[in-house]
Structure 1
Amino acid sequence: MSIPVDDVTVPERVRELAGSAALTPVWENGIGGLTFRTDDGRFVKWGPRYLEASMRAEAERMRWASTWTLVPHVQDQGEDRTHEWLVTSAIPGRSAVDPFWIARPEAAVRAVGAALRQLHDALPVAECPWSWGVEDRIANAAERGIVVAGRLHAAPAIDRLVVCHGDACVPNTLLDDAGRGIAHVDLAALGAADRWADIAVASMSTAWNYGPGYEDLLIEAYGVDPDRERLAYYRDLWDAT
């Protein structure tokens, strides 16, 4: 993913959804999806339909998770033959990769690790209707034409089954200016899985966003000791799927 740095052509559907509100592009992903902030307190996501996850799935999961934790309120969701869109209410706070936090990496990493633990503790796995387990992820990859190496079909035993975020990269945590996690976004893959599936990705993503040296700090902030076997496995699975 990358934050847009050049002028972005606003899709017609996004203009319709924004109405009279002014639009500011805030994010672009690797498949051409765009996210815009409106000046009336909303975010509009728009992008091509994609088999790995959908905005319909994201809307369903946010509505479910909102009973137990703070996530964006869904205002609208829809799709046509080629594209989909999602409109949510803005939540006060900054992404953990906002320049404010890029300049304060240690505090940001600690906040993201603690917030991930809070998410796992808050969401009731027994009531979660979705799975993000290894078999389901490999099956989803197969639907997209991706063959996952045989060695990754044998996962380590589950340490603790939780409701995982499904894309726990650090940009998807919102922080207040005091360094507390206040919400999570981009929940299209949310589902039950070993907590290390999230921890592995979250800690790995610190290097992408802040540079080397912060992976174990995030794990410490989460509240566990590093499990090198599970970290390696779930990072490889992430890369493979």
Structure 2
Amino acid sequence: MSIPTDGVVVPARVRGLAAGDALVPVWRNGIGGLTFRATGPGGIRYLKWGPRNDETTVEGEAERLAWAGRFVTVPRVIAAGGDDVEEWLVTWALPGESAVAPRWIAGAATAVTAIGVGLRSLHDRLPVAECPFSWRIADRFERAARRGIRLPEGLRNAPSEDDLVVCHGDACAPNTVLTDEGSVSGHVDFGALGVADRWADLAVAAMSLEWNYGPGWTRTLLAAYGIDADVQRMTYYRELWNAT
């Protein structure tokens, strides 16, 4: 996953959805999907496009955004669709910039603190009892099996899931949006949102900090979140993430 820096061919579907608005590629994922920012008279939109895949679907993300938007700030869906080959999701932009925008890479302490505060707020505000989606270990194993992924046997020796929250599902740094002042504007990319142990999110968030800001930021993240490190769970959920 990365910010595109080379020539990007804009898919025909994206051009049609943009309806003449100026397009800038902002993200490329690991399966060939692209996200574009579209700027026009009506405002700023984000167009997510990708090949149809069995891991998550834009229809599923749209459902999760609609549910989560009852409790927290998320992008408002404009359109979502797909066919046998491709899928797409169009949302209005949240105010602010991604936590990995150049200004926040340079101001990592502020960004990492905001990511921790924002993730804690998300976990505190989304109600577990009302959430219709799951991201628990057994469900992740089942989804991996459907996709033909054989997980390492060691992952079956899982820690207990005794601290359930509604997890973001991809709590990597780029998915937190910050205001100009460095506070949390909201979160994006909810394709895997569901109930799970809070460390399923925290482990991935901590791992992503090194990719984006360099080593040494885990303590800052956990302090901002308000929790002590759980090395066993962090290790397990990182390994599960990397395997799936």
TM-score bracket, shorter-length normalisation: over 0.9
After the TM superposition, which segments of 4 or more aligned residues of structure 1 sit over 4 Å from their partners? Answer: none
Q: CA deviation at 1:7?
A: 2.2
In the other structure, the counterpart of 1:3 is 3
Query: Does residue 193 in structure 1 map to residue 196 in structure 2?
Result: yes
Query: Does residue 80 in structure 1 map to residue 104 in structure 2?
Result: no
CA distance in 2, matches of 1:216, 1:82: 43
In the other structure, the counterpart of 1:35 is 35
Query: Equivalent of 2:99, from 96, 100, 105?
Result: 96
Q: CA deviation at 1:159?
A: 3.7
Q: Which amino acid aligns with 1:155?
A: A
Q: CA deviation at 1:169?
A: 0.5
Q: Is the 8 A contact 1:159 1:195 kept in 2?
A: no
Q: Which runs of 5 or more residues in structure 1 are unaligned?
A: none
In the other structure, the counterpart of 1:19 is 19
Q: Is the 8 A contact 1:125 1:192 kept in 2?
A: yes
1:192-211 alignment to 2 at 5 Å? 192-211=195-214
Please, which moves more after superposition, 196-205 or 174-183?
174-183
Query: Does residue 114 in structure 1 map to residue 117 in structure 2?
Result: yes
Q: CA deviation at 1:129?
A: 0.4
Q: Which amino acid aligns with 1:4?
A: P
In the other structure, the counterpart of 2:158 is 155
**How many percent of aligned residue pairs carry the same amino acid?**
59
Please, what TM-score do these two structures have when normalized by structure 1?
0.98
In the other structure, the counterpart of 2:221 is 218
| CA deviation profile, 1:97-121 (whole Å, cap 9, x unmatched) | 0001000111111110110000000
> CA-atom RMSD, angstroms?
0.9
1:164-203 alignment to 2 at 5 Å? 164-203=167-206
Q: CA deviation at 1:89?
A: 0.3
In the other structure, the counterpart of 2:136 is 133
Q: CA deviation at 1:158?
A: 2.1
In the other structure, the counterpart of 1:68 is 71
Counting matched residue pairs gives 241
Please, what TM-score do these two structures have when normalized by structure 2?
0.97
Q: CA deviation at 1:23?
A: 1.1
CA distance in 2, matches of 1:101, 1:128: 32
Q: Is the 8 A contact 1:53 1:189 kept in 2?
A: yes
Q: CA deviation at 1:151?
A: 2.0
Q: Which runs of 5 or more residues in structure 2 are unaligned?
A: none
Please give the secondary structure, in 2, of the residue aligned with 1:39: strand
